[in-house]
């Protein structure tokens, strides 16, 4: 799963306004990293606590499941801005050079629409959580702040995806083939 | 049926236009669902799916194994692995390519990703093979093919996803991957041997290492070994859940990377960021695939497939062969994860339904009855039970995905190598990978025909 381990966030090529706009993305990505590291550490402490001191961390499974959501949605805006999603690039050689920018705008607008759609559905979900005062099983935490947070981060991701579309529009990016995410 | 096929067509069209697969699946899945069900249901489904997929303890195993693989890569454990296998194999004809494959197999035991395995090993193995005048194709092919073992030999991110999709015990799946992985290594070694026999000039002998040197080199791989034994042993023995094992493995790999001073703060952040980004990417694909699968399940498509398959109840191998053919074709186009997410929900019920019919074939053909010999080796003589068929099919799917990773035109592992070795032509790598690809076909046949290979170790996992 290494598609350019040290791939720099390609901000240098963008105008200052966009670069400034990327700041929140970086900040959120740092949060996501912190969550991941914490998740690893907590799991380690939990298991060693269980076997060495016979005292596991309470309700860790529940905490980790919410950390998962934080981990995914905090880094999502940056993934969207970098166009780090999995795509099929089989036709890259066929698409004529002059259409590349239009293609870049198209795919990012469609993607932004999809992300925004998810954000909307999560928001509606969050509102039902609020309305019915749903809480978690073990710690009795309210769920709505989490689902609302997910929805808001998702909106931000859609904005980031639109920013990527804009980058093609103003010519800061010119070929979707140079930004490709791959998994596994 | 028609609706489902239209859905697939729309999905392919959008994806070929280069819309990220995750979003193509969400868009088509949602539209299809509101068509075949109703709008409110479809709307509610998307929100619920996204929420459930994200807030999920079980899935936390994914980022943790990804993180472990990235830390291991950063810790440069790959170098010792290569040195050690080289000490044993390097003096043979084609020995460096053989050493590369064994080292890839070793690295796969601590890394759950094929691309990472290929990328890492290429940095270590390629310069050395070039120094000894190896043919670029043979050398790069060994890395590309050896790298595919990453998703078969546990830990494996793909097997985790398969396990979650099909509700199959991840520990069992991991155990099941070990023997087919070793078979893979052996077959690749035979492929090198075959190539060298035909064209001896492609892979000259390297230096011989004496036994003292070999033992010294072997001592250096203790890091990888410890990590593997601890993590996998913990899962097999039922000491940790897969998630816990992943957390511990990631922590262990982190300690290695720090202790070996191969990671500065920037590297540390890069590892975390890359793992987080990979996770987010996997999750969007996962959410998309779940939405799309929900849509397909609302059509008559799954039932039609089951009906067709029912006609072949006496000969499930034909159905399996058809499925494998579809995988090979899809593998030419799709990236591995999206392929698995798209197809497993459709094919898995089919295979499960046919499970009891899977009697190991060759004896069956010859004698016309269930082979008594198989009853002695394992309890598969009368067909597979539900768990067994799930585990075995998981391994089959992963092996065929491995093949797709080195099949033109997309073969992702080959493109990873292209990125790391810009001076080697893609066609050269594909040419070099051919021998391994043929070996893979033999391995696939063997693993399909002899479920025991996958099920033997899995049966010991609780």
Q: Look at B53-67, B177-191, B328-342, B380-394 and tell me which has the smallest mean pLDDT.
A: B380-394
The answer to whether the CB atoms of A37 and B272 lie below 8 A apart is yes
Two tokens, residue B171: 């520990």
Structure tokens at A78: 């940056």
At residue B439, the pLDDT reads 96
- What DSSP designation does A58 have? T
Residue B340, φ and ψ in degrees, nearest 5: -65, -45
Do residues B106 and B224 touch, judged by C-beta distance below 8 A?
A: yes
Per-residue pLDDT at B378 exceeds 50: no
Per-residue model confidence (pLDDT) at position A167: 87
Separation of alpha carbons A126 and A74, rounded Å: 17
Q: CB neighbours (10 Å) of residue B356?
A: 15
Q: What residues in A contact B235, CB-CB < 8 Å?
A: none
pLDDT digits (tens, 9 = 90+) for B74-86: 888 888 899 999 9
Is B414 an interface residue toward A (CB < 8 Å)? Answer: no
Q: Name the residue among B16, B271, B282 with its Cβ closest to that of A88.
A: B16
Q: Using the beta-carbon criterion (under 8 Å), do B115 and A68 form an inter-chain contact?
A: no
HEC readout, B36-82: HCCHHHHHHHHHHHHHHHHCCCHHHHHHHHHHHHHHHHHCCHHHHHH
- Confidence tier at A15 by pLDDT (50, 70, 90): low
- Cβ–Cβ gap B51/A114 under 8 Å: no
Contact at CB, A117 and B26, closer than 8 angstroms: yes
Taking CA atoms, what residue in B is nearest to A32?
Answer: B276
In tens, the pLDDT along B200-243 reads 989 888 888 889 989 888 888 888 888 888 888 888 888 888 88
pLDDT tens digits, one per residue of B125-148: 999 999 999 999 999 999 999 999
Radius of gyration of chain B (CA): 22
Cβ atoms of B274 and B268 within 8 Å: the answer is no
Q: For residue B247, what is the nearest residue in chain A, using CA coordinates?
A: A40
Asked if B271 has any chain A CB less than 8 Å from its own CB, the reply is yes
CA distances in angstroms from B249 to A48, B103, B176, B263, B397, listed in the order given: 13, 19, 19, 17, 25
Higher pLDDT pick, A37 / A172: A37
Contact across the interface for A61 and B248, Cβ inside 8 Å: no
Q: What is the pLDDT of residue B386?
A: 81
What is the rounded CA–CA span in Å between residue B272 and residue B24? 28
The reply to whether residue B55 touches residue A66, judged by beta carbons under 8 angstroms, is yes
pLDDT at B369: 52
Predicted confidence (pLDDT) per residue in B313-336, tens digit: 777 778 888 899 988 888 887 778
Task: Tally the C-alpha atoms within 13 A of residue B189's C-alpha that lie toward its C-beta.
Answer: 17
Q: What is the DSSP letter of B299?
A: S
Nearest to B344 by CA among B411, B297, B299: B297
Q: Are residues A107 and B18, on separate chains, in Cβ contact within 8 Å? A: yes
- Are A72 and B283 within 8 A, CB to CB? yes
pLDDT of residue B460: 82
Give how far A117 is from chain B: nearest CA, Å.
9
The pLDDT value given to residue B379: 41
B interface test, pick of A32, A50, A51, A88 with most B CB neighbours within 10 Å: A88
> Nearest CA of chain A to the CA of B64: how many Å?
7
Give pLDDT tens digits for A96-142: 888 889 999 999 999 999 999 999 999 999 999 999 988 888 888 88
Model pLDDT, residue A80 = 93
The Cα B367–Cα B364 span in angstroms is 5
- Residue that wins the pLDDT comparison between B413 and B97: B97
**Residues A128-154 as b or e (16 or more Cβ within 10 Å = b):** ebeeeeeebeeeebebbebbbbbbebb
Instruction: Count Cβ–Cβ pairs < 8 Å, chain A vs chain B.
Output: 227
Q: Is residue B377 scored above 60 in pLDDT?
A: no
As a whole-number percent, the residues of chain B with pLDDT over 90 amount to 47
Residues of B in contact with A124 (CB under 8 A): 43, 47
Residue A182 has pLDDT above 60, yes or no: no
State chain A's mean pLDDT as an integer: 84
Contact state of A41 with B251 under an 8 Å Cβ cutoff: yes
Query: Tokens at residue B94, please?
Result: 């084609």
Output the pLDDT for position B358: 67
Of A3, A51, A110, Cβ closest to residue B23: A110
Taking the C-alpha atoms of residue B143 and residue B149, their distance in angstroms, rounded to an integer, is 10
Q: Pick the residue of B107, B277, B331, B339 with the most A CBs within 10 A to test the interface with A by mutation.
A: B277
In whole numbers, what is the pLDDT of chain B averaged over residues? 87
Chosen from B284, B409, B426 to mutate, greatest number of chain A CBs within 10 A: B284
Per-residue pLDDT at A24 exceeds 80: yes
CB contact under 8 A, B335 and A75: no
Q: Is B6 on the interface with A (CB under 8 A)?
A: no
Residue B300 predicted with pLDDT over 90:
no
Which position has the higher pLDDT, B270 or B419?
Answer: B270
For chain A, say whether B108 makes contact (Cβ under 8 Å).
no
* pLDDT of B385: 78
User: CA quadruple A53, A59, A62, A64: dihedral positive or negative?
Assistant: negative
Q: Residue B381 — very low, low, confident or very high, per pLDDT cuts 50/70/90? A: very low
Instruction: Work out the pLDDT band at B351, boundaries 50, 70, 90.
Output: confident
User: Mean of the pLDDT values across residues A36-45?
Assistant: 94
Please name the residue that has the structure tokens 């804009």.
Answer: A166
**A171 has a pLDDT exceeding 80:** yes
Cβ neighbours around B328 below 10 Å, total: 15
| Percent of the residues in chain B that have a pLDDT greater than 70, as a whole number | 94
d(C-alpha B210, C-alpha A114), whole Å = 61
Cross-chain Cβ contact A29/B276 below 8 Å: yes
* pTM listed for this prediction: 0.88
Nearest-Å Rg of the Cα atoms of chain A is: 20
- Tell whether B412 is within 8 A of chain A (Cβ): yes
Q: What is the pLDDT of residues B401-434, one digit of tens each?
A: 999 899 887 778 888 888 788 888 888 999 999 9
When pLDDT is averaged across residues A160-165 and rounded to a whole number, the result is: 92
Q: How far is B278 from chain A (nearest CA, A)?
A: 7
- Chain A residues close to B337, C-beta within 8 Å: 86, 183-184
Distance CA B405, CA B456 (A): 26
- Give B 302-341 residues with CB within 8 A of chain A: 333-338
* Nearest CA distance, B221 vs chain A (angstrom): 23
pLDDT number for residue A89 = 76
Nearest residue of A to residue B281 by CA position?
A85
What is the per-residue pLDDT for B58?
85
**Which tokens hold the place of B415?**
């493109």
With cut-offs at 50, 70 and 90, classify the pLDDT of residue B380.
very low
Mean pLDDT, residues B276-286 taken together = 92
Which chain B positions have a beta carbon within 8 Å of A78's beta carbon? 277
Distance between CA atoms of residues B251 and B230, nearest Å: 12
Residue B112: per-residue pLDDT: 86
User: Sign of the C-alpha dihedral, residues B285, B287, B290, B291?
Assistant: negative
pLDDT at residue A11 is higher than 50: no
**Can you give the pLDDT at residue B357?**
67
DSSP string for B379-395: TTTT---HHHHHHHHHH
Nearest to B17 among A71, A107, A125 (CB): A107
- How many Cα atoms are found within 13 Å in the side-chain-facing hemisphere of B332? 8
Q: What is the pLDDT of residue B310?
A: 79
Q: What are phi and psi of A73, to 5 degrees?
A: -80, -25
How is A93-140 classified by DSSP, letter by letter? TTS-GGGHHHHHHHHHHHHHHHHHHHHHHHHHHHHHHHHTT-B-TTT-
**Residues in chain A within 8 Å Cβ distance of B336:** 183-184
| Residue in chain A lying closest to B60 (CA) | A68
Rounded to an integer, the average pLDDT of B348-362 is: 72
Which pLDDT belongs to residue B219? 84
């Amino acid at each position: 799963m290494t598609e350019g381990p040290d791939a720099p966030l390609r901000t240098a090529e963008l105008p200052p306004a966009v670069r400034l706009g990327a700041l929140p993305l970086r900040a959120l990505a740092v949060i996501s990293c912190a969550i991941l590291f914490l998740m690893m550490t907590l799991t380690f402490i939990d298991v060693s606590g269980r076997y060495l001191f016979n005292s596991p961390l309470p309700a860790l499974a529940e905490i980790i499941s919410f950390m998962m959501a934080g981990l995914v949605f905090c880094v999502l805006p940056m993934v969207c801005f970098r166009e780090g999603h999995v795509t099929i690039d089989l036709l890259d050689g066929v698409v004529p050079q002059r259409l590349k920018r239009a293609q870049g705008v198209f795919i990012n607008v469609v993607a932004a629409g999809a992300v925004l759609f998810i954000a909307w559905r999560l928001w509606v979900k969050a509102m039902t959580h609020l309305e019915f005062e749903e809480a978690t099983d073990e710690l009795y935490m309210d769920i709505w702040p989490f689902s609302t947070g997910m929805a808001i981060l998702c909106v931000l991701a859609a904005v980031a995806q639109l920013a990527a579309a804009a980058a093609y529009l103003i010519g800061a990016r010119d070929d979707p083939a140079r930004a490709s995410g791959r998994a596994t | 049926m028609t609706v489902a096929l239209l859905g697939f067509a729309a999905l392919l069209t959008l994806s070929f236009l280069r819309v990220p697969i995750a979003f193509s699946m969400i868009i088509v899945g949602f539209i299809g669902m509101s068509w075949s069900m109703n709008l409110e249901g479809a709307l509610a489904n998307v929100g619920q799916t996204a929420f459930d997929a994200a807030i999920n303890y079980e899935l936390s195993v994914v980022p943790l194994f990804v993180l472990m693989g990235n830390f291991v890569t950063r810790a440069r454990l790959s170098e010792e692995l290569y040195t050690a296998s080289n000490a044993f194999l390097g003096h043979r004809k084609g020995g460096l390519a053989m050493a590369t494959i064994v080292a890839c197999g070793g690295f796969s035991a601590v890394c759950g990703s094929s691309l990472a395995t290929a990328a890492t090993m290429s940095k270590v193995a390629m310069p050395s093979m070039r120094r000894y005048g190896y043919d670029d194709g043979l050398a790069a092919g060994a890395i590309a093919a050896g790298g595919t073992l990453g998703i078969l030999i546990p830990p494996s991110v793909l097997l985790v996803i398969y396990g979650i999709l099909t509700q199959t015990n991840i520990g069992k799946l991991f155990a099941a991957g070990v023997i087919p992985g070793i078979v893979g290594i052996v077959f690749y070694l035979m492929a090198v041997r075959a190539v060298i026999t035909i064209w001896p000039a492609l892979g000259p002998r390297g230096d011989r290492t004496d036994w003292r040197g070999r033992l010294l080199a072997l001592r250096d791989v203790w890091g990888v070994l410890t990590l593997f034994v601890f993590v996998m042993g913990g899962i097999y023995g039922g000491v940790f859940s897969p998630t816990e094992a992943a957390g511990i493995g990631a922590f262990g790999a982190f300690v290695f990377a720090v202790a070996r001073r191969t990671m500065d703060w920037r590297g540390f952040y890069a590892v975390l960021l890359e793992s987080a980004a990979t996770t987010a990417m996997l999750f969007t694909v996962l959410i998309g695939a779940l939405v799309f699968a929900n849509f397909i399940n609302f059509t008559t498509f799954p039932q039609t497939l089951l009906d067709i398959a029912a006609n072949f109840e006496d000969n499930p191998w034909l159905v399996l062969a058809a499925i494998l053919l579809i995988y090979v074709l899809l593998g030419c186009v799709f990236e591995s994860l999206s392929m698995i997410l798209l197809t497993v929900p459709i094919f898995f019920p089919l295979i499960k339904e046919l499970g009891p019919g899977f009697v190991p074939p060759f004896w069956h053909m010859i004698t016309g009855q269930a082979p008594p010999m198989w009853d002695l080796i394992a309890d598969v003589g009368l067909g597979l039970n539900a768990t067994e068929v799930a585990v075995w099919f998981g391994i089959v799917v992963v092996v065929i995905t491995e093949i797709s990773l080195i099949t033109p035109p997309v073969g992702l592992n080959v493109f990873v190598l292209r990125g790391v070795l810009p001076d080697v032509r893609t066609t050269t790598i594909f040419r070099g990978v051919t021998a391994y690809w043929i070996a893979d076909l033999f391995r696939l046949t063997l693993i399909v025909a002899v479920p025991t290979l996958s099920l033997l170790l899995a049966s010991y996992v609780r």
